[in-house]
Amino acid sequence: MSSVGEPMRRQARTIEEAAIRPGHVLVRVAGCGVCHTDLGFLYDGVPTRHALPLTLGHEISGVVTHAGAGAEDWVGKGVVIPAVIPCGECEACKKGRGAICPKQIFPGNDDHGGFASHVEVPARGLCPVELARLEARGLELADLAVIADAVTTPYQAILNAGLSAGDVAVFVGIGGVGLFGVQLAVALGANVAAIDTDVVKTERAKSVGAKWTRTIAPGEEKALKSELRGWAKEHRLPTTGWKIFETSGHPAGQSLAFSLLNHGGHLGVVGYSKEKVTVPLSNLMAFDATARGTWGCLPEHYPAVVELIANGKLSIKPFTERHPMSQINTVFDALHRGELKKRPILIPDFEVSA
C-alpha cells in the first residue's frame, strides 16, 4: 500500500540472508488472511504505525526458511505468526500485558506484513504447528492463517470476559471474528446467542452451535432484547452476568451490544469502527457491569487455539475462501463492498527467486 484509496502494487524487494536481524526469522508465506483492519488502512485512512509504502497483512501462516542469529532452531518449521508480537521484556510484558507492549510488532502495521511471498518477523511468540495432525483434519498450513487474528482475538476477548460453562454469551456481528467467537464460546460450554443483519450469517452461527439466533433490522433493538431475555428465562439460563461480545465493528452493533448489558454483565469490544456512538455510560455503574477492549491475543494462548482445531472442536476451513494473492485489489474491493461471506485468505501466486 502506498497511499489511501489507491490500489496496492506489487514491488520486488531483495532480502539478504545475512541481513536477517538477530532473533528474527524469514517466513515463506503459505497464506495471509484479509481483515477489516486492512480495509481501514487502505480505504478509511486509519494510519499505519510504519510510514507508507507498507506491505499490509497480519494473519499469516507459513514455513520458516531462514533465521537470524539465535533463531536457527525455527528453520523448516510450519508456523502461525501472531498478529501482535510483544517484546516480552518491557514493564507491560512482565505484568502479562503484552497487548499494550510499546515495542510490540504488528506485521503489516509496524513493519512489512504478509501480503508477500516472504515476511521477516521476530521469532519470539511464533506458534509452531504440527502439520501432520492438521492434515488429518483436511487442513493445510494456508488455512491456519486466520488463527493469527480472526480466531485468536475473540479467544482473548473470551478469556478476558472470564467466560465459563453455563454462561450466556451473546455475539453481535457474525463475520469471521464473530463466527469463530461463537465456536470458541460453544467449545467452552457457554449458551450462545448470535445476532447479525444477515440471515446467512445467523444460520451459519446456528450450524456451529449457537442456541439462539436472530437477524436484526433498525428499530428492533428493544424487541430483540426482550426476546433474548425471554429465551434465557424459558431455558433457565442466567438472566444476569451475560457476556456480550461486539464483533460487528459497526456503530449500530456497538450501540446494540452496549444496550444488552445487564446486572454484572461484561461487554467485550472486539470490532473496530471509526464512528462515535452515544451510549448511557452510567449503565456500567448501575449494573455493576464491565466493558473491556481486546487488542490481539497474547502469543502464549495460540497453541490452545491450534489444539481446539486439531481436535475438531473448532472448524475454520468452511468459513474461509482462498484467492490468489495477485488478485489482492479485487478481493479487497469485494470485501469492502460486503460481497464476501467468508474470510478471504490470499495465497502467494508469483515467482520468487530463492
Q: Give the footprint of Zn ion on this chain (CB under 5 A).
A: 35, 37, 86-87, 90, 93, 101, 103, 149
Q: Minimum distance between the CB of residue 150 and Zn ion, rounded to whole angstroms?
A: 7
> Closer CB to Zn ion, residue 35 or residue 56?
35
What does the block give as the cell for 337?
Answer: 463492498
Host H or E run for residue 64:
strand 59-67
In sequence order, what are the residues at sequence separation of 6 or more whose Cβ sits closer than 8 angstroms to the Cβ of residue 168? 190, 191, 193, 232, 237, 238, 241, 242, 243
Q: Confirm if 104 and 84 have CB atoms less than 8 A apart.
A: yes
> Closer CB to Zn ion, residue 86 or residue 348?
86
Q: Minimum distance between the CB of residue 91 and Zn ion, rounded to whole angstroms?
A: 8
> Closer CB to Zn ion, residue 78 or residue 107?
107
> Closer CB to Zn ion, residue 150 or residue 289?
150
Q: Minimum distance between the CB of residue 50 and Zn ion, rounded to whole angstroms?
A: 16
Residue whose C-alpha is closest to residue 64's, from 96, 98, 19, 29: 29
> Closer CB to Zn ion, residue 99 or residue 228?
99
In the block, cell 492434515 appears at 135
> Closer CB to Zn ion, residue 143 or residue 149?
149
Q: Minimum distance between the CB of residue 58 and Zn ion, rounded to whole angstroms?
A: 6
Residue whose C-alpha is closest to residue 80's, from 25, 28, 35, 144: 144
Q: Minimum distance between the CB of residue 224 and Zn ion, rounded to whole angstroms?
A: 28
Half-sphere exposure of 308 (CA within 13 A, CB side): 21
- List, in sequence order, every residue forming a beta bridge with 66; answer none if it has no partner: 26
Q: Minimum distance between the CB of residue 179 and Zn ion, rounded to whole angstroms?
A: 14
- Cα separation, 330 vs 30, in Å, equals 20
Q: Minimum distance between the CB of residue 177 and Zn ion, rounded to whole angstroms?
A: 8
Q: Are strands 78-81 and 59-67 parallel, antiparallel or unpaired?
A: antiparallel
> Closer CB to Zn ion, residue 35 or residue 119?
35
What single DSSP character describes residue 86? -
